[in-house]
Structure 1
Amino acid sequence: MSDRKTFAWAAPYAGLDDDALEALGNPGLLRRARKDTVTEVSHDPKGAVLDVSGAMVRVDGRGPAAVSCDCPTAGVCQHVLTACLWAVQLAPDAPPQGAVPVVAQAVPKTSGAAGTRETSAASGMREPSVVRRPSEAVRKRRREALAEVREVVGRLMSGGLSHLGPDDAESLRALAGRVRLAGFQQVATEQVGGVRFDGLLRVAGGLVAGLAGRDDAVTESELLDAFAEAWAMCEVLQRALDTDGTAHSALGSAPASDNADDDEVDLARWVPLGARWWTSQSGSRGLAYLGWDAGSGQVRQVVTGRPSGTDPRFQRSWTSPLLWGRSLSGLCEGVFALTAVRSKPDGSLGAGGNPVLRRLDDGSDGVGFGLDELRAIAERTGAGVAPRDVVGFGRRPANVRLVLVRDVGEVGIDEVRQEMTLVVVTADGEPRMLRLPVSDEQAVETLLSVRSKLVAVTIERREDRDEPVGLFVRDKGAIRLISPTITPAWSLEGGYWDFWRRRMRKLKAQASSARTVRSAATPPSPVRRVTLLLGDVLLAAAATGRPALTARQRSDVERARGLARDLGLATLERTAGGLLAGDLTPPSVLHAAFVVGRARAVADVAG
């Protein structure tokens, strides 16, 4: 007879295995969690308070997704996983895993898959890839999670997006925790582009919170897209579960890496292309750093940011460490090699870790950038993003081009958009109009200070506008990279007083010669018009929760269906026909929104 001590509140932790805990955190976090020490501070009929290596953690009957920790780490930390491992020992139905002293005892390693992996790693041997069929309990947990997501999203859609409140945002965040615990990271990984299901729900929860808080940076259209993507992922994951419950045999792909969150790669040649600093109305801010990976022949980016009110040290700066413990001035000073940089499934690079940078001197005088290499990158990026790359799940790839500059035209002001414009003529003789918000005075001043020295420009296509994110300028015989939204104008001149004299002369001359740009309203392409007609109807239906089309909306959908038929767009024609044939139920609106959103992305890239 076992004399193991159990508590009724610990029942939700029964049978919690390594796969579930890795889904809650990641394999590296779980390995570190096993080394923590646990001391029980207090307990009651609902749960217990633990001291986990100096952090106070609360566990209770709500389950692993509700475990809270007072350490500064955002999201799930190793202390939370340690507390879950401790609670497993007290669950009534948990299988015995050996006696565990409660006070000041390191959490032991459990037997099974994780133990096998660690033994293999310690012996220097690589464990062969084995496709394991999930247990029936795991499959049941995943089906229940999918059903809950459908129910919650459907309920929020039925009430209308404009009527959502803070409680709805909180319910989505809690749902994301339960979905993460269900462990979908190895299900249909190729079909969803490696995007985490719980990540989509967290994004949707943040958008709901912004919408409920009247944040001007959040729109109902963005929230509808997020809900549509979450609903579509439900369908993909459900189909994968209905086949055999794993992604591997269903897709014929190799098993996902056990440490997919910690994958590291070496980039033999990295050419920085620029950086873009962004801020939102809510106060959150961040950085997108772009570069050319010569080995794979593609543009890759690193994105990092902070929410409002957190980490006051993370501010726009050219000389302070912002990424990988280094400043942007150092990360943009030339070509270098990157060792042990984290890589994400979607091809972007991770902002975490501490990769090693090694400078590669390539200029004719041993510094800066080589013009021949910039010309080669311009040729490779000239085609932009392929339409097939924008139809999947998750973040759309950066639409970035590097163009060589033959001539620089006039400075202008677009009063309608409140943007400064600068026309550059590329090496191919094509005029491109660059745009920067007038409100970003630093970016405008930097661009005006170097416009006469431009050799090449890195252009990111964002929301039907070309924004310069990297400016290659000739400075004292070498080619130098600066980023208008981050590089301060004062750093581009030698003498302090000479800079101010030249700057005032430039600004006065450019202000007197700047012309007002009145952008002609270009009619949308036929494909774009179809997506606009259907998108407006779907947005109105989602915002109000109205269950049927109005007479005006029905007319717009009929026009869109007729135009789609004339263009041979069979999928959009069927989607419009479905809206005309039935009620505007949440599944029908979300299905149509997903299809229209993918078609809109393809039309934007192709255009």
Structure 2
Amino acid sequence: MSLDAMLAAHDDTALEALTSKGLVRRAGRDAEAGKATITSRDATAAVIEADGYTVEIDEGGAKAARCPCPATGVCRHIILAVMTLRESGGDTAPPDLPLAQDELSQLSQEAVQKFAGADWDKAVNLARVSTDAKIEPEGLNLRVTLPDAPAPVVFMAGQALKEAVFKGPQTRKRLFVAAATVAFRAISGAQPLDTLSDVAPADDQLTADLLDDVGKTLELAVQAVLTGGSALAEDQLFDLAITSRAQAAPRLTALLRGLAKQAQLARDRHVDFSTENFLRTAAATYALTTALKSAPGDVKLTGTLKRNYKPASASDLIVLGAKTWQGLSGARGLSVYGFDIVRQSWLTATVARAAGADPTFSPQGAYFGPFLGGSMTQALMGQHLQIDDLQLSDDNQIAPSCFGQVKAAISTADLTQLHDDGILHTNWMTLRQDLATRMGGGLRQSGFAQPVLMHPAKIEGYVFDDFDQAYRLVVVDQARATLQLTFGADAQRYITWLYDNLRHVQAILCEAMITDGLLRLSPVSVIVTDKGALTVHNFGLDALPRQEQRGMLAGLLKRFSQIPRVDLTSGVQTDPIQRLCADAIEAAGETLSFSVSDKLSVIARRADAIGLSMLARGAEALTSDPTPAHALRLTYLASACQASVIA
């Protein structure tokens, strides 16, 4: 490679990847001030006097350049030297320098496997679970961001894999660079690199020995995180998650990956780290390892990597709402919810793209464009449809191949039958019972959002949750029981409209999830009467109905201030089971941190007093034997008690 070719790959974005944006900006100011001069330059190397230091640089690039200043790594003077050479002339886009992505596409598996060495199998497994990897061309270079990586990998044009830029732990660089290469090949459509070097037979992967190893690692990891050893715990959990054997249980893998991320937050003392949430996840993972020993083939316990669709009879579907979504990794999509009259069950149709895939796709565009049967998705809202040649997954997802099988709408939806069949809930107790049945309980509880249709009798008021940056709207049923609906921080106009127009509302469609032991209901759509007909308005996608909306934002904000504010803390504080379970989890955390908690004996007595004998025995066991195993068991029991009360 020539010096000019190297300089073409070292644009400002690449220099920022090597160092930082601030350092590149400072070097840029120095270059503009004329603080560097070229002493000598030929086709392969140059010497530059950069702000008092002599920098030697050749086709090896900035990482291989030499500067006598005391700074380590790529210093400001090297960045200044590169910028000065770039500005001095030479070819800016040498014809002999291919794009980094083209170079990656041509690498053989043998070359990548040789680079990865002992990390090859882990790299392949990490790439397999990184379906949401983000691929971003940057000039001649390529940036690949893996969801589980602490930093992106930047491949430099004309540079070998070992010269790729990775700002995470250098002991892990080989693993993440190889995984990024494999992930790019899978997503880009080039010949995949996914052959493991040594894989145990599928039936033997999820063994009792593996599960014992996971359990022991969890015991060590939770104590390490709570006593300051997060870095070691993070590595241990992550290594387990990407072993080939753990891939036999995708749910276990996902939990271990989540725990590794939480350990990283703890290591960084990040504000988003929560001891309670970490303990809950660790306890659920610990309990799962025990359950898998007894039922290693139970799909509800192992989980699946890919939905399997099976032929099903035709669907008689009422379309009741749609919601756009975007994952943290950049994956995005549109989900459409409908109720199947024949099956008496909810069905979901989703169109989505992985991070970095199909940049022309947008969830909003899918809503206002063709979707089911070629019809505009928005036009399907509130319609009664028939879908022939249906294919469904076990969790009631409609296969994308069915999107062309929709017949013309039978009629506009009528909610009378849904009300008569108990699908439209006016009583919050039956709503909870419905969700408990559909979500399941314990370790077999569904982790997917469940649609639920409700009709409040009254809106009691709202409160803004500063911690979650969300509004909680308190809705009341006919028996005067209350539930909370969770809106985003920018949802004032929706809350105001609902408060003003509740008498026109026939139903509200929500997504229901159990999060940290609490039932969370997030509104998707509102179904109203408009000139005698039912219409569906999706929050964040459709304009609000006009009924009594006065149109001016200032007017909405003024009326918003008139909606009653409520205190949501008193109910939680007075619920004896919820308070007891929260105290038990806190005591488990204290025991892991300090080997003792003076709350445990009191918790045992309180649990016995209200009939929670298993929780009481768990507290007593932790008192007499303050080990991580007993702390995790108590945490799981407390979390399960909370979830059972909610549902």
User: TM tier, shorter chain?
Assistant: 0.5 to 0.7
Asked whether the 8 Å contact 2:325–2:363 carries over to 1, the reply is no
Shift of 1:395: 4.1
Q: Which residue of 1 aligns with 2:309?
A: 263
Pick from 248, 255, 260 the counterpart of residue 184 of structure 1: 248
SS in 2 for 1:597: helix
User: Which residue identity does 2:258 align to in structure 1?
Assistant: V
Change (3 A) 1:505 1:207: closer
Q: Which residue of 1 aligns with 2:603?
A: 560
Is it true that 1:440 corresponds to 2:491 in the alignment?
yes
Shift of 1:403: 2.7
Change (3 A) 1:234 1:513: closer
* Equivalences for residues 204-603 of structure 1 within 5 A: 204-212=259-267, 216-240=271-295, 247=297, 261-266=307-312, 268-275=315-322, 290-299=337-346, 317=364, 319=367, 329=378, 332-337=381-386, 347=395, 349=397, 355-356=403-404, 358=406, 361-362=409-410, 366-376=411-421, 377-378=423-424, 381=431, 383-386=433-436, 389-393=440-444, 395-396=446-447, 398=449, 401-404=452-455, 426=477, 434-441=485-492, 443-444=494-495, 447=498, 451=502, 453-460=504-511, 463=518, 467-484=522-539, 486-489=540-543, 492=545, 502-504=551-553, 507=556, 510-511=559-560, 513-519=562-568, 521-522=570-571, 523-542=573-592, 544=593, 546=594, 548-549=595-596, 553-554=597-598, 556-583=599-626, 585-603=627-645
Change (3 A) 1:79 1:303: closer
1:533-568 deviation line (CA, Å, top 9, x unaligned): 2111123344x3x3x21xxx23x2112211222333
303-312 vs 532-541, which moves further? 303-312
CA distance in 2 between partners of 1:257 and 1:227 (Å): 17
SS in 1 for 2:434: coil
CA distance in 2 between partners of 1:40 and 1:437 (Å): 46
SS in 1 for 2:119: coil
SS in 1 for 2:507: strand
Q: Which structure 1 segments of 5+ residues have no match?
A: 1-37, 51-56, 95-133, 186-194, 241-245
SS in 1 for 2:397: coil
Shift of 1:467: 4.3
CA distance in 1 between partners of 2:185 and 2:107 (Å): 23
Asked whether the 8 Å contact 1:290–1:299 carries over to 2, the reply is yes
310-319 vs 515-524, which moves further? 310-319
- Count, aligned residues: 475
CA distance in 2 between partners of 1:457 and 1:488 (Å): 14
Q: Which residue of 2 aligns with 1:109?
A: none
Change (3 A) 1:71 1:239: same
Change (3 A) 1:383 1:586: closer
Asked whether the 8 Å contact 1:264–1:342 carries over to 2, the reply is yes
CA distance in 2 between partners of 1:461 and 1:258 (Å): 22
Asked whether the 8 Å contact 2:322–2:335 carries over to 1, the reply is yes
Change (3 A) 1:411 1:162: same
Q: Which residue of 2 aligns with 1:7?
A: none
User: Which residue identity does 2:646 align to in structure 1?
Assistant: D
User: Which residue identity does 2:623 align to in structure 1?
Assistant: L
Asked whether the 8 Å contact 2:485–2:522 carries over to 1, the reply is yes
CA distance in 2 between partners of 1:424 and 1:520 (Å): 16
Asked whether the 8 Å contact 1:302–1:349 carries over to 2, the reply is yes
CA distance in 1 between partners of 2:584 and 2:303 (Å): 40
Asked whether the 8 Å contact 2:499–2:563 carries over to 1, the reply is no
Task: Give the alignment's TM-score, normalised by structure 2.
Answer: 0.58
CA distance in 1 between partners of 2:473 and 2:268 (Å): 36
Change (3 A) 1:432 1:504: same
Shift of 1:270: 3.3
Q: Which structure 2 segments of 5+ residues have no match?
A: 1-103, 125-177
CA distance in 1 between partners of 2:349 and 2:622 (Å): 40
Pick from 204, 208, 225 the counterpart of residue 160 of structure 1: 225
Asked whether the 8 Å contact 1:384–1:400 carries over to 2, the reply is no
User: Which residue identity does 1:507 align to in structure 2?
Assistant: L
1:153-173 deviation line (CA, Å, top 9, x unaligned): 233223124746567545534
SS in 2 for 1:588: helix
Overall identity of the aligned pairs, in %: 17
Q: Which residue of 2 aligns with 1:123?
A: none
Q: Which residue of 2 aligns with 1:65?
A: 122
Change (3 A) 1:234 1:464: closer
Change (3 A) 1:170 1:77: farther
Q: Which residue of 2 aligns with 1:101?
A: none
Change (3 A) 1:373 1:559: same
Higher-Rg structure is: 2
Task: Give the alignment's TM-score, normalised by structure 1.
Answer: 0.62
Change (3 A) 1:558 1:286: farther
CA distance in 2 between partners of 1:536 and 1:65 (Å): 35
Q: Which residue of 2 aligns with 1:99?
A: none
Change (3 A) 1:260 1:513: closer
CA distance in 1 between partners of 2:640 and 2:191 (Å): 38
User: Which residue identity does 1:378 align to in structure 2?
Assistant: L
Change (3 A) 1:422 1:374: same
Asked whether the 8 Å contact 2:241–2:257 carries over to 1, the reply is yes
CA distance in 2 between partners of 1:218 and 1:309 (Å): 28
Asked whether the 8 Å contact 1:442–1:489 carries over to 2, the reply is no
CA distance in 1 between partners of 2:368 and 2:256 (Å): 33
SS in 2 for 1:516: coil
Shift of 1:575: 0.9
CA distance in 1 between partners of 2:537 and 2:327 (Å): 23
Q: Which residue of 2 aligns with 1:139?
A: 204
Change (3 A) 1:425 1:61: closer
Q: Which residue of 1 aligns with 2:138?
A: none
Q: Which residue of 2 aligns with 1:26?
A: none
SS in 2 for 1:385: helix
User: Which residue identity does 2:418 align to in structure 1?
Assistant: E
1:407-443 deviation line (CA, Å, top 9, x unaligned): 5557655587876566666567767664534443564
Shift of 1:579: 0.7
Q: Which residue of 2 aligns with 1:191?
A: none
Aligned residues: CA RMSD: 5.1
User: Which residue identity does 1:482 align to in structure 2?
Assistant: H
CA distance in 2 between partners of 1:162 and 1:289 (Å): 45
Asked whether the 8 Å contact 1:403–1:426 carries over to 2, the reply is no
Change (3 A) 1:167 1:577: closer
Asked whether the 8 Å contact 1:40–1:48 carries over to 2, the reply is no
Q: Which residue of 2 aligns with 1:175?
A: 240
User: Which residue identity does 1:64 align to in structure 2?
Assistant: D
SS in 2 for 1:196: helix
Change (3 A) 1:276 1:210: farther
1:175-222 deviation line (CA, Å, top 9, x unaligned): 22215x45635xxxxxxxxx6322322333343344545555552322
User: Which residue identity does 1:572 align to in structure 2?
Assistant: L
Shift of 1:578: 0.7
CA distance in 1 between partners of 2:186 and 2:615 (Å): 41
Shift of 1:400: 5.4
User: Which residue identity does 2:613 align to in structure 1?
Assistant: A
CA distance in 1 between partners of 2:615 and 2:452 (Å): 30
Shift of 1:600: 1.5
CA distance in 2 between partners of 1:295 and 1:183 (Å): 37
